[in-house]
């Protein structure tokens, strides 16, 4: 169990990022291997149960993937994983966030570059906002926590529309980038 905090956003992660964790996440994300999906879902479930010791439940909201990544993979990996987690835990889930502009792949960027790359690049899909309303509580979901840039941008995009981010969960926690 790992708890992190970035700019007062509490983030719960199940395992440290390692060569094995990297292979599992890439097998799920890039190759759609069902067994790897299940391992990521199990890790997120563990993180969610840790979070629920400290917070009440909210709607699960996956961090959005770039459209080009979804096309290449043939699916929106994190959305699929988050919806499966929600079904397993009998929770609500909503794909609220979208990219509003092109962003670079963050895997080769340092911490500062990641924050600059993603800053003000996310917004709420207006078609989905009407069904939720102001004051909705959500829990952000991502596969990997490295710098917190994506989760902080997701929180910003949600909070400007009156949606409260309780906390976030990730499957893995990476050593910090400089």
pLDDT of the residue at 50: 94
Over residues 119-171, the pLDDT tens digits come to 998 999 877 766 666 668 999 999 999 989 999 999 999 998 888 999 999 99
CB environment 90-115: b (16+ within 10 A), e (fewer): ebebbbbbbeeeebeebeebeeeebb
Judge contact between 138 and 60, C-beta under 8 A.
Answer: yes
Over residues 11-31, the pLDDT tens digits come to 999 999 999 999 999 999 889
Confidence of residue 115 (pLDDT cuts 50, 70, 90): confident
- What residues pair up with 4 in beta bridges, in sequence order? 11
List the structure tokens of 112.
């500062």
Which residues have CB under 8 Å from 39's CB, separation 6+? 24, 28
CATH number corresponding to 2-173 = 3.40.50
Residues present in the chain in total: 178
Q: Is the pLDDT of residue 35 over 60?
A: yes
Over residues 55-101, the pLDDT tens digits come to 888 899 999 987 877 788 888 899 999 999 999 999 999 999 998 98
pLDDT of the residue at 72: 85
pTM: 0.92
Over residues 37-61, the pLDDT tens digits come to 999 999 999 999 999 999 888 899 9
pLDDT of the residue at 24: 96
**C-alpha torsion angle, residues 69, 67, 139, 162 (rounded to 10):** 160
**Alpha-carbon separation of residue 166 from 34, 37, 60, 92, 159 (angstroms):** 30, 25, 10, 15, 11
């Amino acid at each position: 169990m790992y708890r992190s905090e970035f700019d007062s956003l509490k983030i719960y992660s199940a395992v440290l990022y390692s060569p094995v964790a990297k292979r599992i996440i890439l097998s799920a994300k890039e190759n759609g291997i069902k067994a790897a999906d299940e391992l990521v879902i199990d890790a997120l479930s563990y993180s969610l149960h840790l979070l629920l010791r400290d917070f009440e439940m909210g709607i699960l909201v996956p961090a959005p993937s770039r459209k080009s990544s979804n096309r290449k993979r043939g699916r929106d990996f994190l959305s699929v994983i988050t919806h499966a987690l929600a079904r397993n835990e009998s929770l609500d889930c909503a794909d609220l966030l979208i990219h509003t502009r092109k962003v670079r792949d963050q895997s080769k960027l340092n911490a500062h570059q990641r924050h600059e790359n993603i800053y003000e690049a996310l917004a709420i899909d207006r078609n989905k906002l009407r069904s939720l309303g102001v004051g909705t509580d959500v829990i952000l979901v991502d596969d990997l926590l490295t710098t917190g840039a994506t989760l902080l941008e997701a929180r910003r995009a949600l909070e400007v529309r009156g949606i409260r981010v309780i906390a976030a969960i990730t499957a893995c926690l990476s050593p910090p980038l400089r």
